[in-house]
């Protein structure tokens, strides 16, 4: 276990089998930087092109297809004093008759002040707007897909990618299905804040210092990105329409508890029916993201242990 | 303002312009009972047919098309000791390849013990299942639609109906667009508990005693059901796919703050983009329900007051 | 078998269990008139309200729930010299970014000349537009749904309704699942011409004289409207999104040949996979309509006879 | 203009910026072979992996981003005596409740006899199945996408790809938006026959000899693949749900005639509303394909000439 500091000098706009920038061992902690969705870094210099330039890929020793890549998000720290958003709701979330009559405000982008030390953000227009709590998250991250694909960082999928889910924040551990040797992990597109759904088409887009650790769990059955923290486990499914994203996420939770952990189908489904929670990741990107989430305390009450196959540490209450 | 006690002896399976069972004045409080989704009452007798037999309709004096009908949910009290659920995830939330191989558990329905006094529910199978907190809600309620339609209580729409949203609980006030004189309010289909999405196709279906008050706000622009409590305001949009339900709910929130209250479009959309929350009502019924929700404290920070047109009381923090 | 002439003096905007205007016997031929989608009749007088006022309902003796109502379309004859359309593509068929910038032409409606004798239509603007062949169809027709529902004539469903499918033309026989005694048949909303999808939101809306015969086939398994003529059989499924409409129509064809007629599942599916045709009915109404269609000559080649249960006459080449 | 014969020895499972196998000049005619969807060639040898191994890419001299690549399909000739299909309808086209109870026939694949000389195909089971007319088509073909993406040949998109549209047959000319220098054209996945929608998940999969010519039209506005032959022009849009595929295709037709050719919006939309045709390409792949099609004779009647910008030859009746 080592602390690896990596200062990126190149970025990728696709998540694929590109040359690794860094080789990691399981347990290593990485401290690196990400540029914002438009390629602008902490100094305000635009060093990479759109969309969502990725830092990485990081090759993780021992990760093989069929394994789970573990990425623990230790800290996501916006590293400059302004971010930006779009300022009008996207066509994806408006009725066509309302959309057709909508004026397009100008300028198209709005600057926000970001006081990372205080944990606050505000539309950068003096007193007219309130300070809001910051809640930094990774908008786009994931691992190389199978089959030689190189997937645009505009979109999410089974490999992760541009999920734009505000639950990917400090303290959460992400689990990805490994499709190529070394997994090849990418990250970027930090948002200082984002509502559910990313309905203006952006969060508060910003560069950041990101700290994370990596690990590998051998021979797991992941088909979609999963996550957990002290209180919850979840799966992020991505597709259009949202119905299909919901189907992917829900099916993966059932596979996890029934097919992987071996619990009784009826018991698992009875529990899910009355206890499940869904979070809307994004309803803007080429594929939408829906998250199916369960409380770990509640699972423990039901004697259902998602860590049974070693994918994550046991729940300790 | 009077307390009206109404013991139903007939029920409707459509929400339409049926003969009122009771005439109410604005401010009246009603105490009544609802049978469960299958028509079984508090004594365990099946007195009405499927689906979701409705108590009502209640005619509210002074309610005219274009007004908002106000229904404040004072108390939803399950009034018998068992409820029931389905026990396997619905085809709507499973990938087709997973669904095709799925065994169908039997029996098809599962009985739950409901200890309303203690506020607890449990699968009725001795020690094998844990007690869970109850969270009673109205699954299906709403007002007569326009144009002479009589809409099945299996489905939701602009008139309300079978939204199956667990946020319709005690302390919440529902606001419906009035389409016919007297509004004609119906209610039923109480769930002692339900997860997001109603993904097994039921909550814990149960009969209940329900207490609510009614009021009318003249000349409002509602196109979809709205709700509020001390902490939040929200809109429930219904359609398939979920994308369209999301569009309805989001558009209605924008109409509310921009078109009705007169706030600046860009200010409202900037706020929504980074602060909006979505709740999944149901992803099972003929139309799915998505809820677009905003914190009232947050709105106050932004100097946006959704009560500006008199639709609801001002926020007092 | 009688010729029944019925001149309507009232119309319905919902399809439900309304009082019949006329009682028919199986085999009867009806000659009646329909007003246009806006309620205007052959004299240019607006005699009924929107949407799609229906002529009927016709009670057909002997039709009981579970039967199929047969309606043979003998002739659909536009009976005045002008019709009207909308003149801009609907938001349902345009990308949001294209829609948002679209100018709205005025006036919103365009008048078309209709020369029914010559079978021609033309935008009513002198020489600037070409004459086109007329192809009259029934936009909205169907039978009363089950459960006491009264469904708006704006939308289609299992009962038929506003399918807006240009295949419902002269020489075609429609088959509806009967849900109430007497079936209660409604018709209206004739289009002198319509493209696939009804993508401007209208066909060429016009009043008409319609001639049809009725019959009943006892004890059939219809869940969706079916149709046939000398060359094809088809099913019209309706829902949103189009994917679900396609699922309904395709499933109903499989039920027809496999479950009702008893043919081998694999043989039927092998045939459908390489020979099926889909027609887009409408992609504008509250539910969209997709038609799954098979050639009768091709079915005969495969020794698959959809008339095996007596639902329709045998194919004679 | 030269005749280029190319015998492939490597194949790609993604469409991206791979090393060209061949450099072509505008006007060149290419004669080459494609393996079937599973990688099996004309000799029955499996020489490439799934899915849909592509022959190519062909670099076309002078093609630059913003141009249109022209690919005229001269001949698609199945070059062996058997093909194969799946034999049960895909979950995408069946209602979940019907799907759940469906038996899975075995074997999972069905062999078909292909008599290319006679133009006939038949399930390879002696007399039990009829001979059917062959109608060979290209299932998957297209050009390298922008942004460094390498897109799986399982899916279609703006670059073409796995559209599985039976209209891509002999005599049709395909037009692709060029995103990289040289366009980089790929082709494969020939079907001897396929119904609308590819609803068993395959056409009759077969290897083939394919003959085509290439050309370049400079500076065009294509966002989606277009096609034409003597009778029709069309656009193939791809997405999920079908609604969105329909929006892409319809919008592209409007852009073509209104924005590129300069015709009056209202005239174009009036014509489309009453004359448009839609073909269902596929409703099985990760993105579905819908085709928006117009008759060239009809366009000529309306004085609308889609060849006005030089994208295709003028219509000669």
In chain C, positions 99-158, which contact chain A (CB-CB < 8 Å)? 99-100, 102, 104
pLDDT digits (tens, 9 = 90+) for A189-227: 999 999 999 999 999 999 999 999 999 999 999 999 999
pLDDT for B104 equals 65
Q: Report how far residue D17's alpha carbon sits from residue D159's, in angstroms, rounded to the nearest whole number.
A: 12
* Percent of chain C predicted with pLDDT > 70: 99
pLDDT digits (tens, 9 = 90+) for C168-186: 999 999 999 999 999 999 9
Cβ distance A97 to C104 less than 8 Å, yes or no, reads no
- In 3D space, the residue among A52, A168, D285, A271 whose CA is nearest the CA of residue B195 turns out to be A271
Of the candidates B95, B97, B241, which has its C-beta nearest D241's C-beta?
Answer: B241
pLDDT for C127 equals 81
* pLDDT greater than 90 at residue D125: no
pLDDT for D104 equals 66
Q: Residue C146, exposed/middle/buried by CB under 10 A (0-12, 13-18, 19+)? A: middle
Cβ distance C241 to B241 less than 8 Å, yes or no, reads yes
Distance from CA of C124 to the nearest CA of D (A): 12
Report whether D287 contacts D238 (CB < 8 A).
yes
Compute the average pLDDT of residues A127-144.
96
Q: Residue D97, exposed/middle/buried by CB under 10 A (0-12, 13-18, 19+)? A: exposed
CB atoms within 10 A of CB B38: 18
Compute the average pLDDT of residues D171-199.
98
Distance from CA of C310 to the nearest CA of B (A): 32
How far is residue B157 from each of residues B15, C51, C282, D186, measured CA to CA in Å? 11, 18, 21, 47
Exposure on the CB side of residue C140, measured as CA atoms within 13 A: 37
Compute the average pLDDT of residues D36-62.
98
Cβ distance C99 to A99 less than 8 Å, yes or no, reads yes
pLDDT digits (tens, 9 = 90+) for B243-287: 999 999 999 999 999 999 999 999 999 999 999 999 999 999 999
Q: Using a CB–CB cutoff of 8 Å, tell me whether C93 touches chain A.
A: no
pLDDT band at A268 (very low <50, low <70, confident <90, very high): very high
Q: Using a CB-CB distance cutoff of 8 angstroms, which residues of chain B are in contact with residue A278?
A: 196-197, 280
Cβ distance C241 to D246 less than 8 Å, yes or no, reads no
Of the candidates C88, C242, C288, which has its C-beta nearest D266's C-beta?
Answer: C88
In chain C, positions 202-221, which contact chain D (CB-CB < 8 Å)? 202-204
> Which chains sit next to B, with 3 or more Cβ pairs under 8 A?
A, C, D
Q: Phi/psi of residue D301, each to 5°?
A: -55, -35
Cβ distance A100 to C102 less than 8 Å, yes or no, reads yes
Q: Using a CB–CB cutoff of 8 Å, tell me whether C91 touches chain B.
A: no
Q: Using a CB-CB distance cutoff of 8 angstroms, which residues of chain C are in contact with residue A86?
A: none
Q: Using a CB–CB cutoff of 8 Å, tell me whether C265 touches chain B.
A: no
pLDDT for B105 equals 58
Of the candidates A16, A147, A244, which has its C-beta nearest D13's C-beta?
Answer: A147
Cβ distance A92 to B240 less than 8 Å, yes or no, reads no
Compute the average pLDDT of residues D45-67.
98
- Strands, E, within A10-87: which ranges? 14-15, 22-24, 29-34, 55-60, 68-78, 82-86
How far is residue D85 from each of residues C142, C271, C276, D100, measured CA to CA in Å? 38, 11, 14, 22
Cβ distance B99 to D102 less than 8 Å, yes or no, reads no
Cβ distance A239 to D239 less than 8 Å, yes or no, reads no
Q: Using a CB-CB distance cutoff of 8 angstroms, which residues of chain D are in contact with residue A240?
A: 239-241, 244
Q: Using a CB-CB distance cutoff of 8 angstroms, which residues of chain A are in contact with residue C96?
A: 90-92, 94, 96, 99
Alpha helices in chain B (DSSP H): 96-100, 242-254, 265-275, 296-301
**Facing residues of D297 across strands?**
none
Compute the average pLDDT of residues C228-256.
98
Distance from CA of D293 to the nearest CA of C (A): 10
Question: In this predicted complex, what is the ipTM?
Answer: 0.97
CB atoms within 10 A of CB A271: 25
pLDDT digits (tens, 9 = 90+) for B47-98: 999 999 999 999 999 999 999 999 999 999 999 999 999 999 999 999 999 9
Both structure tokens of B123: 């699968």
Q: Report how far residue B253's alpha carbon sits from residue B306's, in angstroms, rounded to the nearest whole number.
A: 10
Q: Report how far residue A28's alpha carbon sits from residue A7's, in angstroms, rounded to the nearest whole number.
A: 16
- Selected for mutation to probe chain A from D53, D150, D186, D240 (highest A CB count within 10 Å) is D150
Interface contacts (B, D; CB < 8 Å): 28
Domains in chain A, CATH or no CATH each: 3-82+135-217 (2.60.120.580), 84-89+97-132 (no CATH), 226-301 (3.10.28.20)
Q: Using a CB–CB cutoff of 8 Å, tell me whether B235 touches chain C.
A: no
Of the candidates B149, B239, B244, which has its C-beta nearest C152's C-beta?
Answer: B149
* pLDDT greater than 70 at residue D107: no
Average pLDDT, chain A: 96
pLDDT digits (tens, 9 = 90+) for B173-230: 999 999 999 999 999 999 999 999 999 999 999 999 999 999 999 999 999 999 999 9
Alpha-carbon Rg for chain B in angstroms: 19
Of the candidates A121, A200, A278, which has its C-beta nearest B196's C-beta?
Answer: A278
Q: Which residues contact A268 (CB under 8 A, 6 or more apart)?
A: A254, A257, A258, A304
Q: Using a CB–CB cutoff of 8 Å, tell me whether B89 touches chain D.
A: no
Read out DSSP for B234-292? EEEEEESSHHHHHHHHHHHHHIIIIIIT---HHHHHHHHHHH-EEEEEESSSSSEEEEE
* pLDDT greater than 70 at residue D72: yes
Q: Which residues contact A201 (CB under 8 A, 6 or more apart)?
A: A86, A90, A284, B273
pLDDT band at D127 (very low <50, low <70, confident <90, very high): confident
Q: Residue C2, exposed/middle/buried by CB under 10 A (0-12, 13-18, 19+)? A: exposed
pLDDT for D105 equals 59
> Which chains sit next to D, with 3 or more Cβ pairs under 8 A?
A, B, C
Average pLDDT, chain B: 96
Q: Which residues contact B95 (CB under 8 A, 6 or more apart)?
A: A247, A248, A251, D91
Average pLDDT, chain D: 96
pLDDT band at A107 (very low <50, low <70, confident <90, very high): low
- In 3D space, the residue among C214, C162, C213 whose CA is nearest the CA of residue C188 turns out to be C162
Q: Where is pLDDT greater, at D100 or A112?
A: A112
SS3 at position C48: coil
Compute the average pLDDT of residues C250-258.
98
Distance from CA of C197 to the nearest CA of A (A): 17
């Amino acid at each position: 276990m080592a602390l690896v500091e990596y200062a990126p000098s190149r970025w990728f706009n696709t998540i694929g089998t590109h040359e690794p920038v860094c080789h990691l061992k399981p347990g290593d902690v990485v401290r690196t930087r990400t540029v914002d969705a438009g390629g602008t870094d902490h100094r305000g210099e635009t060093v990479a092109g759109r969309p969502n330039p990725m830092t990485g890929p990081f090759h993780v020793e021992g990760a093989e297809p069929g394994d789970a890549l573990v990425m623990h998000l230790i800290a996501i720290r916006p590293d400059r004093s302004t971010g930006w958003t779009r300022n009008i709701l996207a066509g994806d979330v408006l009725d066509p008759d309302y959309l057709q009559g909508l004026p397009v405000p100008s300028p198209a982008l709005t600057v926000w002040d970001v006081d990372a030390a205080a944990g606050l953000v505000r539309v950068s227009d003096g007193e007219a707007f309130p300070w809001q709590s910051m809640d930094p998250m990774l908008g786009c991250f994931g691992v190389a897909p199978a089959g030689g694909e190189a997937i645009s960082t505009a979109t999410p999928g089974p490999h992760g990618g541009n999920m734009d889910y505000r639950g990917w924040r400090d303290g959460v551990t992400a689990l990805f299905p490994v499709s190529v040797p070394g997994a090849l992990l990418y990250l970027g597109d930090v948002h200082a804040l984002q509502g559910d759904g990313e309905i203006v088409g952006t969060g508060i887009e910003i560069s950041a210092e990101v700290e994370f650790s990596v690990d590998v769990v051998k021979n797991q059955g992941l088909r979609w990105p999963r996550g957990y923290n002290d209180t919850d486990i979840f799966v992020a499914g991505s597709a259009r329409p949202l119905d299909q994203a919901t189907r992917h996420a829900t099916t993966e939770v059932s596979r996890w508890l029934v097919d992987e952990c071996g619990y009784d189908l009826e018991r698992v489904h009875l529990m899910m029916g009355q206890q499940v929670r869904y979070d809307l990741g994004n309803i803007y990107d080429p594929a939408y993201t829906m998250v199916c989430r369960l409380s770990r305390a509640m699972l423990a009450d039901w004697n259902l242990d998602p860590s049974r196959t070693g994918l994550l540490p046991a729940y300790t209450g």
